[in-house]
Amino acid sequence: MASTAAVPFWRSAGMTYISYSNICANLVRNCLKEPYKSEAISREKVHFSATKWVDGKPEKPTIRTDSPDE
């Protein structure tokens, strides 16, 4: 018989650990004072490239930049 007493609160709230940690990180960044706040927010941006494969060969990669503001 499994016990639910050891279930983390974020899991019992229906969240994943990633979403819980993102919320916590946003709260910490918003509590910082300048200039640390703007530095932390600038590191929050994500850059990645996605490449489609057609007939076993890669096409030209698409470079994306995502930030929480977009």
* Residue 61 pLDDT greater than 70, yes or no: yes
Given a cut of 50, whether residue 70 has pLDDT beyond it is no
Q: For residue range 33-51, what is the model confidence (pLDDT) as tens digits?
A: 999 888 888 877 777 788 8
CA distance 9 to 48: 32
Does the pLDDT value for residue 2 go beyond 70? Answer: no
Name the band, by pLDDT with cuts 50, 70 and 90, for residue 31. Answer: very high
Q: How far apart are CA 66 and CA 37, in angstroms?
A: 19
**What is the tens place of the pLDDT at every residue in 16-27?**
888 888 888 889
Length of the chain as a residue count: 70
Q: Could you give the angle at the alpha carbon of 30 between the alpha carbons of 28 and 36, nearest 5°? A: 85
